[in-house]
Amino acid sequence: MELNGKTIIITGASSGIGAATAKKLASKGANVVLTARREERLKELKAEIEKDGGKALVVSADVTKKEDFENIIKKTKAEFESIDGLVNNAGLMPLSYVKNLHTDEWNTMVDVNIKGVLNGVAAVLPTMKEQKSGHIVNISSSAGNKIYPGGAVYCATKAAVKMFTEGLRMELAPNFGIKATSIEPGAVETELTETITDEEIKEGFASSLGDISQLQAQDIADAIYYALSQPARANINEVYIMPTEQPQ
Ligand code: NDP
């Protein structure tokens, strides 16, 4: 779709992939709705986007709360006409070994990485159904395609996102013209690893990637833009993108 004048909601826009995506889509003329919990960061991003001539709305929200999504929809509709896209990007990755029983972190990952995505879809769907158009982009991961020790729960949440996205596409694209895309990146240099508390993982994780050149958030923003900007007839189901130097 032509993004000029279209409205796209981006969750987890306060850093990393979400922030880069907001900048990219705004530079292509989209009205971007910036949501996350850290409102100050969102305000800074809005100012940056507006300085470059873009349009942005800030709505602070926790994706685990349905009422926060209702507020996002209300404010988006008050400011802009339609809801053309949702990038379900908010997520966290407190990797841990199962034996160490970081059960609170398991639950948080399920709440944010899976239920947060479901909450987003439930919030935008009535509007998109009515419009008979829209595009939902869910950020899964290369971890949704393969498992590794320490990533049992994280990988499970990302596999769920990938599978849910294909189910969405099958049900919504033919019947309502609503597209669905799963984005599956390998290692991207962001703040994502900062939530890791398992000391055993922390020790090994920094060295596990070696000194490879990781993907940058901008690379994923470009992939999201590619998926969103295809003509109405073309649905990009998945984008699986790895650093060239990352073997697995
Ligand atoms: P960041 O840590 O930079 O970004 C994570 C974002 O999620 C932040 O903006 C954070 O905002 C938001 N977030 C976390 N919890 C919540 C919540 N409860 N409600 C609302 N927002 C929340 O990491 P990335 O940019 O790397 O991560 C973005 C997505 O990309 C994630 O889903 C991640 O799993 C996925 N991904 C990342 C890869 C990588 O290597 N970096 C690889 C593959 C996938 P705030 O704290 O302000 O709420």
Q: Give the position of tokens 């998109």.
A: 128
- Answer yes or no: are the C-beta atoms of 215 and 185 closer than 8 Å: yes
Catalytic residue among 154, 225, 226, 240: 154
pTM over 0.95: yes
- List the structure tokens of 248: 């697995």
Kindly state if the Cβ of 12 falls inside 6 Å of ligand 1: yes
- List the structure tokens of 82: 């339609």
3-state secondary structure of 114: helix
Largest pairwise CA distance in the chain: 51
Supply the CATH number for residue 133's domain: 3.40.50.720
pLDDT of residue 204: 78
Q: How far apart are alpha carbons 20 and 33 in whole angstroms?
A: 13
Q: What's the 108 CA to ligand 1 centre distance in angstroms?
A: 13
CA distance readout (Å), 66 to 14, 52, 86, 90: 19, 32, 15, 14
pLDDT band at 248 (very low <50, low <70, confident <90, very high): confident
Testing ligand 1's pocket by substitution, the residue of 9, 11, 14 carrying the most ligand atoms inside 8 A of its CB is 14
pLDDT one-digit tens code per residue, 109-160: 999 999 999 999 999 999 999 999 999 999 999 999 999 999 999 999 999 9
- List the structure tokens of 186: 């390998």
Please give the number of the atom of ligand 1 that sits closest to the Cα of 112.
18
Q: What's the 32 CA to ligand 1 centre distance in angstroms?
A: 17
Q: Answer yes or no: is 17 within a domain.
A: yes
Q: Answer yes or no: is 246 within a domain.
A: no
Domain boundaries, position 168:
7-241
Mean pLDDT over 81-109 rounds to: 97
CA distance readout (Å), 195 to 77, 78, 93, 142: 34, 35, 6, 19
How many domains, in total, are found in the chain?
1
Q: Answer yes or no: is 248 within a domain.
A: no
240 is a catalytic site residue: no
pLDDT of residue 78: 97
pLDDT band at 206 (very low <50, low <70, confident <90, very high): low
* Percent over 90 (pLDDT), the chain: 94
Q: Answer yes or no: is 1 within a domain.
A: no
Q: Answer yes or no: is 97 within a domain.
A: yes
Mean pLDDT over 170-192 rounds to: 97
Kindly state if the Cβ of 193 falls inside 6 Å of ligand 1: no
pLDDT of residue 202: 87
pLDDT of residue 210: 81
Kindly state if the Cβ of 42 falls inside 6 Å of ligand 1: no
Q: Is the pLDDT of residue 99 over 90?
A: yes
Beta-strand ranges (E) seen in 97-229 are 134-139, 178-185
Kindly state if the Cβ of 63 falls inside 6 Å of ligand 1: yes
Burial 18-55 (b: 16+ CB within 10 A, else e): bbbbbbbbbbbebbbbbbbeeeebbeebbeebeeeebb
* Percent over 70 (pLDDT), the chain: 99
Tell me what the pLDDT averaged over the chain comes to. Answer: 96
Q: Answer yes or no: is 2 within a domain.
A: no
Q: Answer yes or no: is 91 within a domain.
A: yes
Q: Answer yes or no: is 247 within a domain.
A: no
Q: What's the 180 CA to ligand 1 centre distance in angstroms?
A: 19
Kindly state if the Cβ of 138 falls inside 6 Å of ligand 1: no
Kindly state if the Cβ of 146 falls inside 6 Å of ligand 1: no
Q: Is 97 exposed, middle or buried (0-12, 13-18, 19+ CB in 10 A)?
A: middle
Q: What's the 204 CA to ligand 1 centre distance in angstroms?
A: 21
- Answer yes or no: are the C-beta atoms of 34 and 58 closer than 8 Å: yes
Neighbours of 228 (CB within 10 A): 24
